[in-house]
Structure 1
Amino acid sequence: MEIVLWSVAALLSLQLVFAAWNVRQLPLFGQLGHSSGKLIPEEGVQLSVLIPARNEQGNIIECLQSIQRCLPANQSDKRIEVIILDDRSEDETARLVEQFSAEDQRFRLVRGLEKPDGWVGKAYACHQLSMQARGAWYLYVDADTRLRQSALETVLQAISGQAIGFISGFPEQQTGSWLEKLVVPMMGFTIACHLPIRLVSASSDPRFAAAHGGWIAISRATYEAAGGHEANAGQLVDDVALMRAVKRAGHPVVLADVRQQVSMRMYHNASEVWSGYKKNIFAGVGRSGLLLAAVLAIYVLLYLLPFMMLLVSPLYPALLPSALTGYLLGIAVKAVADRSQGQPWLLALFIPFSIGAVVAIGAASWLSAKFGTGYVWKGRMYE
């Protein structure tokens, strides 16, 4: 067992070096943009801010207020339009948006149609929004996002001089419950440890893709060339599917650090965390049970085994040096990933519990697909 643990420590040392290098490859969103060749028209709508909203009465007004603070003070400035699609909500979402848009006509409410067979709900909502948009570029944001001051001007700067392209990034994640703190930052951990960030933009291979539906800027020309959301109508992980479609179309993509522009709280309790990740994990590995099992097994080996052996080391003192080394290296890897996301470094101490939660949710995600029980999200059932 000592040999196994020292081998794990060696692998974690390599993982730490890679993660520390990898997170430095993420460009700041505010540093994107070009000064030459104004390909976006000076007149008319340059940017359509598009918000799919289903059962978001607790989120939508704060989201709209944050966007409102970013809009130009001069209401005659028509560079930016904001469209909210009520995706057949069962709560007060539509009424709240209607009241808000009546007071500020820069915001427009669209009533969503019934989802056709074969479509995932959010993908169809985004598709309908694209049909309403007039901008040269679209900015998709979720109802639980909160834009920071000057975020939209930064978007206009980033897309200046570009007729085509796709830009996404992971908003700063706000967490409350303990399961949120343990699981939500694991998105960034996975990217830091396993996805060569430089190859997202440098390679045309669609396997090197990562995106977040809470912040996607895509030009109209690129959206149409990639087939839009319609090209992947049934994909649960629609944001990554869209980036891959853009790559296949030969258009440029960028994954950027957008934490200075936008924050969000994706989930508000443990139940939402469980349901949201359960819906996405199996789909996120291409619905491959073998790949999911391999990933989870590697996580157990690297991050759970040293901690478990550390717990039993009082009975087997010879295991203490190797087990402690592996545990501390695992903490270091998690700390690098957490720091790149603006998360408290103390969360890294709980890496075994984060891994344990991900393994449990991943297993539940696979079992739901295998036995046909499906996934429930925002009142809809998915297989």
Structure 2
Amino acid sequence: MIAALVLLLGVTVLTAHTVVNAGRWLRRPTDRPVEISETVAVLLPLRDEADRVTPCLRALLAQRGVPRLRVVVLDDGSVDGTAEVVRAVVADDPRVTLITGVNPPPGWLGKPHACWQLATWVGDPADALVFVDADVVLEPYAVAAAVTELRAAGATLLSPYPRIVVRTVADRLVQPLLQWLWLTFLPLRAMERSPRPSLAAAGGQFLVVDRAGYLRAGGHAAVADKVLEDIELGRAVKRAGGRIALADGSRLASCRMYEDWPQLRDGYTKSLWASFGHPSAAAVVLTVLLALYTAPPLVAVAALLAGAPTVAGVAVGAYLAGVAGRMVSARATGGRAWPDALGHPVSVAVLGWLTLRSYHLRKRRRLSWRGRPVG
């Protein structure tokens, strides 16, 4: 009985924290028309994205409210005709420049190197840099609104999390955990105010930075060998004296990260080891997550079978508190709340399995992404 009460209390406290984060501290950039006078460079790194870059490019060409907009696209060694697709979509639009990347030198991973090539190519004219992935589709005023929010926050780096598009069962189980994790466990207000690099979060799909502050932090050169280059860039910004901020970007952008289960599985596998750090830390975190969110329905069933309805009721309460937290997170970030939240215990269990797989493959030096070794 005591164990069940502890579970209920722990999940309830965390769900309350989710409610406070989502309702009070989560930034929400405007989705109304807004115009800015700054020079903004949108930077798009591409590697074998011929099949899905077209919607992203068309959305960039349709941006409004940024008269001084430049779009720089880097073809990072693609072998699927990505560059030809880019040329066909942008035609002779003078705002767009396509450059050819070079292979990363020793000590660099592919994504940081591609982003650094883009950032250094732009040069002095840009006031703000906007990094966008090929799977992101922006709304017409997204860039203007995101830069406006960056300035309003007084931040060097702003991460407006896009709405994650889910279509498959695997999507619905795993993808919402991205926003749920930081809304549940990260104190957003403290993260913005604290200079501690450990209090940092960011999503590289859609990232807005003040160019001068980005360079002071060392830019992507400071995170050259980092798998989670987005979070590490936020930490570098803090170490350089800058501020970072998170925002709900679901009204500004959407993102279909993975097309199928193998892509999703491998995408998370390549980076989860870096999220948790040392294996012992991962073991502790996963044990807590599984105890709080996966164990309650199992405890409830076991208690009913054992003739302990009171214990079962408390365990069901813990389960429902976890479901409530997942629903709050989904509604706050443009996600699908119902009935997906009911499967939250399974989601956490799948996260645990993906994490174990990540450490297992890293130990055997078998992690790779888009043909390049990782970790």
Fold similarity call, TM over 0.5 = yes
Contact 1:175 1:268 survives alignment (8 Å) = no
Structure 2 CA distance for aligned equivalents of residues 325 and 71 of structure 1? 48
Deviations 1:138-169 (A, max 9, x none): 00010100001221232353356899721112
| Aligned with 2:215 (options 224, 232, 237) | 224
Q: Which residue of 2 is the match for residue 277 of structure 1? A: 268
Structure 2 CA distance for aligned equivalents of residues 261 and 369 of structure 1? 35
Specify whether residues 235 and 84 from structure 1 end up closer, same or farther in structure 2 by C-alpha distance, changes over 3 A only: same
Q: Does 2:61 match 1:59?
A: no
Moved over 4 A (4+): 159-164
Structure 2 CA distance for aligned equivalents of residues 158 and 3 of structure 1? 46
Structure 2 CA distance for aligned equivalents of residues 124 and 272 of structure 1? 22
Contact 2:72 2:99 survives alignment (8 Å) = yes
| Aligned with 2:81 (options 66, 76, 92) | 92
Q: Does 2:259 match 1:268?
A: yes
Q: Which residue of 1 is the match for residue 320 of structure 2? A: 328
| Structure 1, 18-27 or 293-302: larger mean CA deviation | 18-27
| Structure 1, 145-154 or 349-358: larger mean CA deviation | 145-154
Deviations 1:328-376 (A, max 9, x none): 1121121122221222222110011101110000111111222332x12
Identity of counterpart residues, as a percentage?
A: 30
**SS at the partner of 1:212?**
coil
Deviations 1:107-129 (A, max 9, x none): 11111101111111000000000
- The Cα RMSD (Å) is 2.2
Contact 1:176 1:269 survives alignment (8 Å) = no
Deviations 1:213-249 (A, max 9, x none): 1111112211110001001100000001111100110
Contact 1:307 1:327 survives alignment (8 Å) = yes
Specify whether residues 254 and 164 from structure 1 end up closer, same or farther in structure 2 by C-alpha distance, changes over 3 A only: closer
- Pairing of 1:1-383 with structure 2 (within 5 A): 2-24=1-23, 25-30=25-30, 46-71=39-64, 79-133=68-122, 134-158=125-149, 165-285=156-276, 287-318=277-308, 319-345=311-337, 346-373=339-366, 375-383=367-375
Unmatched segments (≥5 aa) in structure 2: none
Deviations 1:165-189 (A, max 9, x none): 2111211100111111111110111
Structure 2 CA distance for aligned equivalents of residues 378 and 255 of structure 1? 28
User: What TM-score, normalized to structure 2?
Assistant: 0.93
Specify whether residues 156 and 6 from structure 1 end up closer, same or farther in structure 2 by C-alpha distance, changes over 3 A only: closer
**SS at the partner of 2:305?**
coil
Contact 2:234 2:244 survives alignment (8 Å) = yes
Contact 1:201 1:254 survives alignment (8 Å) = yes
Deviation at 1:31, TM superposition (A): 8.9
* Alignment coverage as a number of residue pairs: 368
User: What TM-score, normalized to structure 1?
Assistant: 0.91
Contact 1:101 1:109 survives alignment (8 Å) = no
**SS at the partner of 2:246?**
strand
Contact 2:64 2:140 survives alignment (8 Å) = no
Amino acid at match of 2:20: W
